[in-house]
Amino acid sequence: MDVNTASIINGKEEARKVREELKKEIEELKEKYSITPGLSVVLVGDDPASQVYVRNKTRACEEVGIRSFNYTLPATTDTRELLELIDGLNRRDDLHGILVQLPLPDHIDEREILEGISPMKDVDGFHPFNMGRLVTGAPLFRPCTPAGIMRLIDSTGYDLTGRDCVVVGRSNIVGKPMVFMLLERNATVTVCHSRTRGLSDKIGKADVVVVAVGRAGFVKGEWIKKGAMVIDVGINRTEDGRLTGDVEFDEAVKRASYITPVPGGVGPMTIAMLLKNTVESAKRRIGERP
Ligand code: GUN
């Protein structure tokens, strides 16, 4: 009988460690430079999921000692009005990070908004400047979810050099930046998406699988190669109200060497890395970082 069961990567614990590290760095910034890192969070409209995310971000800021400034605008706000707010935030010296919660209402031009945020305050790492920096191997701000995934992989001591990695999903927020962070570590990367043929074969050959498609149980546990690492970015709500990932956990856990659970895997890391980017931004301002 096969009794293999994967080590569960504890994202909640790793995120707590990141926050503890940041608390110390923030205290030092306050003592040495009288600087308190500041993050502004902009929410347009009243999407309940976005409201929860924004509340969690604010709470996490408070916990580590980052000053947070929330801006909640009505769903009727237009692109120009939002750009004006961002322009004001770009100019403020007490703000080191600007985050505009996505998705934005359909009538707002998302690209124009993301390009309106100063790249030096773009703690989400979504501005084309920051994306371009990542792609060309000189990242400034790294998008938070894939950056959190890299930290989780590192927490296991796994060496990515020469490993076959499959990223499922090609979003600007997760899939695409993930590819370049894995490349940066000398992995061999394949990107799969909704039009990919032979997905199960490709996944079956992978040493590391990162799945970010937003569909419950999309990747079958039996596709996973024995001993592979499985990173599940999905957060899906089942009919009975539970949270579940994009990978069939119960089957995958029997085959994988390491696996992230949902909840408690990748999820908690995203906000932790947002806080980290904000602190980095404050340090960059005073010349403590290149
Ligand atoms: N919506 C879903 N994920 C994210 C994120 O990481 N940043 C922002 N700004 N919006 C999101």
Local confidence pLDDT in tens for the 290 residues of the chain: 556 899 999 999 999 999 999 999 999 999 999 999 999 999 999 999 999 999 999 999 999 999 999 999 999 999 999 999 999 999 999 999 999 999 999 999 999 999 999 999 999 999 999 999 999 999 999 999 999 999 999 999 999 999 999 999 999 999 999 999 999 999 999 999 999 999 999 999 999 999 999 999 999 999 999 999 999 999 999 999 999 999 999 999 999 999 999 999 999 999 999 999 999 999 999 987 77
Would residue 82 count as lying in a domain? yes
87 & 158 share domain: no
- Residue 4's pLDDT is what? 83
Name the residue range of residue 89's domain: 33-118
Q: Does the Cβ of 40 fall within 6 Å of ligand 1?
A: no
Would residue 176 count as lying in a domain? yes
- Residue 289's pLDDT is what? 79
CA dihedral 250→245→213→155, nearest 10 degrees, is -90
**Ligand 1 atom closest to residue 100's alpha carbon, by position in its atom list:** 9
Would residue 22 count as lying in a domain? no
- Which of 101, 130, 174, 271 for a ligand 1 pocket mutation test, highest count of atoms within 8 Å of Cβ? 101
50 & 163 share domain: no
Q: Which residues, other chains included, contact 20 with Cβ-Cβ below 8 Å and sequence gap of 6+?
A: none
112 & 206 share domain: no
Say which amino acid occupies 187: A
Closest CA to 104 of 77, 69, 70: 77
- Residue 1's pLDDT is what? 54
The Å distance, Cα 162 to ligand 1 centre, comes to 30
88 & 185 share domain: no
Residue 51 known to be catalytic: no
Would residue 66 count as lying in a domain? yes
110 & 190 share domain: no
Q: Does the Cβ of 102 fall within 6 Å of ligand 1?
A: yes
User: Based on the structure, what is the number of domains in the chain?
Assistant: 2
Decide the pairing of beta strands 258-259 and 243-244: unpaired
**Ligand 1 atom closest to residue 274's alpha carbon, by position in its atom list:** 6
Would residue 255 count as lying in a domain? yes
Q: Does the Cβ of 101 fall within 6 Å of ligand 1?
A: yes
Would residue 237 count as lying in a domain? yes
**Upper half-sphere CA count for residue 89 (Cβ side, 13 Å):** 29
Can you give the CATH number for the domain in which 49 is found?
A: 3.40.50.10860
Would residue 126 count as lying in a domain? no
194 & 228 share domain: yes
78 & 193 share domain: no
CB of 106 closer than 8 Å to CB of 133? no
Q: Does the Cβ of 274 fall within 6 Å of ligand 1?
A: no
Q: Does the Cβ of 269 fall within 6 Å of ligand 1?
A: no
- Residue 2's pLDDT is what? 58
- Which regions of 14-113 does DSSP assign to beta strands (E)? 38-44, 67-73, 97-100
66 & 178 share domain: no
Task: Give me the catalytic one of 101, 121, 122, 207.
Answer: 101
114 & 191 share domain: no
Spatial separation of the C-alpha atoms in residues 189 and 173, rounded to whole Å: 17
- Which of 68, 102, 270, 277 for a ligand 1 pocket mutation test, highest count of atoms within 8 Å of Cβ? 102
Can you give the CATH number for the domain in which 230 is found?
A: 3.40.50.720
**Ligand 1 atom closest to residue 103's alpha carbon, by position in its atom list:** 1
114 & 208 share domain: no
147 & 261 share domain: yes
Would residue 275 count as lying in a domain? no
Task: Give me the catalytic one of 122, 124, 232, 246.
Answer: 124
CB of 222 closer than 8 Å to CB of 201? no
77 & 186 share domain: no
**Ligand 1 atom closest to residue 124's alpha carbon, by position in its atom list:** 7
Q: In the chain, what's the furthest Cα-to-Cα distance?
A: 64
